[in-house]
Chains A and B, each alone.
Chain A
Amino acid sequence: MPITSYLVHPHEGKKTELTQVLLQLEQCEVIPAENKDILILVTDTDNKNQEALLKEKIEAISSLKLLAMVSGFNTPKNLS
C-alpha cells in the first residue's frame, strides 16, 4: 500500500497544464508548494506494481521536466 510524495518540476510555463493532467490521474493528489516553481504530488496506490505503472505514466507527461521523490519510504514496521 505505497504512499509516496514527490517534488514535481514542470517545464517553463507548463505548471498549470501539468497540474491538470496530474489531477486527472486516479491515485494522484497535487498540492501547490510554497515554492512557486514546483508542485507536490502524492501518489496512493494498492501495491508496488501499481505504483511503478503510475510512475511510468507520470514520467511520460510532456509538461513534466523532472520528478523527485521526497518520502513514502516503505517503513510499515514503524507504524504500529
Chain B
Amino acid sequence: MYTSTQIDRRSFIKKMAILSAMTAAASMFPGIIFAKEQEAGIPAGANLDWKKAPCRFCGVGCGVLIGTENGKAIAVKGDPKSPVNKGLCCVKGYHSIMALYGKDRLTKPLVKKNGKYVETSMKEALDLIASKMQETIKDHGKDAVSIYGSGQWTIPDGYVASKLFKGCIGTNNVEANARLCMATAVTGFLTSFGIDEPMGCYEDIDYADTFFLWGNNMAEMHPVLFSRLLDQRLKRGVKIIDFATRTTRTSMAADKAILFNPQSDLAVGNAICYEIIHNGWMNKAFVEEHCNFSKGLTNMGYGLEDNYKFKDKPEKIDFEAYKEFLKDYTPEKVTQLTGVSVKDIKYMAAQFADPNKKVMSFWCMGANQHSRGTWMNNIIYNIHLLTGKISEPGNSPFSLTGQPSACGTVREVGTLTHKLPHGVVMNKKHREFAAKIWDIPVTNIDPKPTYHTVEMFRALDRGDIRFMWIQVTNPMVSMPKLKRYRDGAKKEGRFIVVSDVYPTPTTDIADVILPSAMWIEREGMYGNSERRTQYFEQMVNPPGEAMSDTWQLIEVAKRMGFEKQFYYKEETHIEEIYNEYRKHHVGKKHNMAPLEALKAESGVLWPYVDGKSTQWRFNAKYDPACTNGKDFHFYGKPDGKAIIWQRPYEPAAEEPDQEYPYWLGTGRVVEHWHTGSMTRRIPVLHKSMPQGYVELNPNDAKRLQIKTGDKVKLTTRRGEITLPASVDERGVPAPMQVFVPFFDESMLINDLTLDSFCPISKEPDYKKCAVKVEKA
C-alpha cells in the first residue's frame, strides 16, 4: 500500500492519521466518545486534577487519566504516555468512572437473618466472618474453608488472600476466576516453555507483518489493541487473518477470514505444522538448537465427573516420530473434519513460512476455553517454534487476557490451588521459600493442591467445603452448568461471604455481603497481558463503609490470631505488602520493579533488571536472564530448550446429535464487561446493549422462520432458556451454530452450558455444547 502511493510521505502519514481517527469515530467502535451523561457533569473550565491509573476493565491494561474534582471522579481519557494504548480508549474505558456511581452501590455490610438482609457495622460483619471461619475449621477441618477470588483482585488483594489461606490457615482452597479464562494459557506456557506468560509484548505489533487471530474476536474484546493492528495496516499494509468459528466485527475488518468447525482448530494447527515440515519450510537450525519433541497421554476425558483426576505423562520423542504423527493431518485429510479448504490451510502455512514476514499470533478464549485448550496452545507454539518465529520483535505468539490483573494477581501472585507466589505447593523448596517470607512454619503449607474452580464448587455442593469467601467476581453468572452450583451454594450448612460493589446473583446466595472499595477508591496494582505491572493511587473515597478487599482480609486475619503475619499499617499497607511480595520474585527471571518505578511510569514490564523492563524474554539480545551463550535460551526448562508437543485432534465433550443438533457457543460483547455487573450500570452502555440475545445463521433462521427480535427457545441437557433472536446483525454464526453473550443476568446462558474442562488446565469449555433451537 505504502510503496504504491505516489504522494509524499508526510501527506501520506497525515492521511493515515485522519483515517485512524475516522475509523475510531465512525466504524468499528461507534461508542468511543464520551457519554453525554459523563460530560454533563464537567463544569465549563473545570480545574480537574488528572491522575494516572490502569483501566478497570480488560487485560489489555490501557493507561487512563482520571480527572477528579471535589472528591469525585468526573472525567476519564486515554493516557498518551501509556505505551499500551498511546492515548486511545475503548467505549468501556471512556465510561469506566461511571461504574463507580451506580445508584445501587453497596455501602453497608449486610447479614442474612431469618431470610432477610439486615444492615450491620463493618466491625460486626468482620467479627462474624472470622468466627464462622474458625468454627468451620474446628467442626470440619481446614479444607472446609475456601476463598474464590478474581483476576480483578489487585496484586495486594490476592497476595494477602494467599498468605492467609495457604500460609496461615494451611489450606490450598484458594482459587480465582482466572481459572475460567486463563488457566489454559498458563499450562500452555508451562508445558511448552516451563515458565508462564508471554515472551513478547505489545510493541511486537509495531514490527509484525502478519497477524493471526486464533478464535479471537479482538475488535470487540480487545478493541484498543485491534485499533493498533488497524493503525499498522494503514501505515505499513500489514495483513490480518481471522481464523474463527463465527463471523464477527473482527472478521469483517480482517484481510482474510477463515471459518473452522468447532474443536477442529487442533487438526488445522497440526496441518499447518505438516505443511511447514513437508515443504521444507522448517527453520532447521533453530529447531535443532532450541527445541525438544514430546508427546503426552491422550483420551484424557473431560472432567465431567466429580473428583476427576488427570496427570499427564510426558514422553520424549524424536523429530521423525513427530513427522510421522503429522501424516494423519495433511490438508487433504483434515479438510472435511475442519470445514477449512485445502487451499486455505496451505495459505495459512505459507504465511507462517514466508522468511521475509514476521508473524504475531493472538488468541484468548477461543483457544483457552477449550476442552483440549492446553493442546491448542501447544500447537500454536509448535508453529512458531518450527519456523523460529518467536521471542524477537514482531515474531510473537501472544495469549491475551480478559481481566485487568489475571496475570498480575492470579498468575504472578499465584492464587490458584497448586500455586505459591514463587513456584508450587508440591515443591519443598518453594514451600520453604514462601514460608520464610511469610514468617510461618513451613509445615503450615500443605504440599497437596485441593480443588480447582469447578471442583471447588462441586465440593461446596457435596458439603466437603462449608465456607466460601467470594471476592470481586460473579460466579453465579459465570460458572458453567450453573444450576448445580447455585443450588449447591444455597444448601443448608453452607456459609457464603461475598465482597462486591453492586448486588449480583452472587450476592443473592450470600450470608454476609461486604461492600468493597472499587478501583481508584483504594490504592493498588494490576498486572496486564504483556507482563506490565501498573500502580494506581487512591483518588476518591469509597462510599459508606466500603473497604478494600485487601483490608477486609487483613482485618479477618488479625481476628483469627495472625497479627504477626498481618503486621501492616493501614496507612502504608499497600506499600508494605508490595515490598514483601517482591521478595518472592527476586532474580533476573521475574524481578518486579520497585514501587517508585511503578509510581513514576505508566507501568513496567517484569523481569525488571538493572532499572529496565525486559520486552522480549528468552532472547539473549534483550533478556539478561539468558545465560547459555546462545542467541536464545528457553530457561524455563532445565536444558534450556522449548518443547514441540505432539498433540492430536480429539472431539469435544458433547457434540451436536439428532436431539440437540446445533453447537452453542458463548462469549462477550464490546459494550459490556464480562457479567455486566458494572457496565450495565453505565447508562450509555446499557442503552446500547440492553439485553442478551441469540445469534443465528441467516439460513437456519429462514428455515426455522425466525426473524430478529423473535423469541427463540434454546434447550440443552442442562436446561432451557428463551431469548430474542439476532439474525445477520453484529455477529453471524456458521450454519448449525448459535452464539449467546453471557453479560445478561436475567438470561443466564450458563444454566445451559456444560462443565467439561481441559484435563490439564481444568479450564471449562464455554464454547461448545449441543443445543436444540426452536421458535418460541
Contact = CB atoms under 8 A, between A and B. Distances in A.
Interface of A: 1, 3-7, 9, 11, 29, 31, 33-35, 37-38, 40-42, 44, 62, 65-66, 68-73, 75, 77-79
Contacts of B232: 78
Contact of A7 (B21, B231, B236): B21
A40 B25 contact: yes
A29 B78 contact: no
Contacts of B22: 31, 33-34, 40
21 contacts: A4-B17, A9-B33, A29-B14, A31-B22, A34-B25, A35-B33, A40-B18, A42-B14, A42-B18, A62-B45, A66-B39, A68-B33, A68-B34, A68-B78, A68-B87, A69-B86, A69-B87, A70-B21, A70-B25, A71-B231, A78-B206
Interface in B75-89: 75, 77-78, 80, 86-89
A42 B17 contact: yes
A66 B34 contact: yes
Given A5-B20, A7-B24, A38-B25, A79 B86 contact: no
B30 interface: yes
A35 B25 contact: yes
Contact of B17 (A3, A33, A68, A79): A3
Given A68-B89, A70-B20, A77-B206, A33 B26 contact: yes
B670 to A, nearest CB: 16
Of A3, A71, A73, the most chain B CB neighbours within 10 A belong to A71
Given A69-B88, A79-B2, 13 more contacts: A34-B22, A35-B26, A40-B21, A65-B42, A66-B34, A66-B75, A68-B78, A70-B25, A70-B88, A72-B17, A72-B20, A78-B236, A79-B13
A62 B235 CA distance: 34
B75 A3 contact: no
Nearest to B87: A69
B9 A79 contact: yes
Contacts of A31: 18, 21-22
10 smallest CB-CB distances across A and B, nearest first, come from A69-B87, A71-B20, A5-B21, A34-B26, A5-B17, A70-B21, A40-B21, A33-B25, A70-B24, A73-B86
Contact of B44 (A34, A62, A70, A72): A62
Nearest to B75: A66
A44 B16 CA distance: 13
A11 B80 contact: no
Contacts of B34: 9, 65-66, 68
B648 to A, nearest CB: 40
Nearest to B44: A11
Given A33-B22, A65-B42, A69-B87, A7 B17 contact: no
A14 B80 CA distance: 26
Given A68-B89, A70-B20, A7 B25 contact: yes
Interface string B376-387: 000000000000
Contacts of B39: 9, 65-66
B358 to A, nearest CB: 11
Provide the main secondary structure of the chain A interface: strand
A74 B617 CA distance: 24
A7 B24 CA distance: 9
B32 interface: yes
B103 interface: no
Interface string B1-31: 0100000011001101110111011100010
A55 to B, nearest CB: 9
Nearest to B40: A12
Contacts of A66: 34, 39, 42, 75, 77
Interface string B93-104: 010000000000
Nearest to A71: B20
**Residue in A40, A42, A68 whose Cβ sees the most chain B Cβ within 10 Å:** A68
A35 B18 CA distance: 14
A7 B32 CA distance: 9
A38 B108 CA distance: 41
A4 B1 CA distance: 21
B113 to A, nearest CB: 48
A6 B88 CA distance: 9
A6 B45 CA distance: 20
A3 B10 contact: yes
A35 B22 CA distance: 9
Contacts of B231: 71, 73
B42 A38 contact: no
A5 B86 CA distance: 12
Contacts of A4: 17
B33 A70 contact: no
A79 B2 CA distance: 9
Nearest to B231: A71
Nearest to A63: B44
Contacts of A41: 21
Contacts of A65: 34, 39, 42
Given A1-B10, A35-B30, A38-B33, A71 B21 contact: yes
A18 B89 CA distance: 23
A77 to B, nearest CB: 7
A48 to B, nearest CB: 12
A37 B25 CA distance: 10
Contacts of A1: 10
Contact of B13 (A3, A6, A7, A37): A3
B77 A68 contact: yes
A11 B39 CA distance: 9
B515 to A, nearest CB: 32
Nearest to A60: B45
Given A3-B14, A79-B13, A70 B87 contact: yes
Interface in B662-692: none
B33 A7 contact: yes
Contacts of B20: 5, 70-72
Nearest to B2: A79
A42 B30 CA distance: 20
B17 A75 contact: no
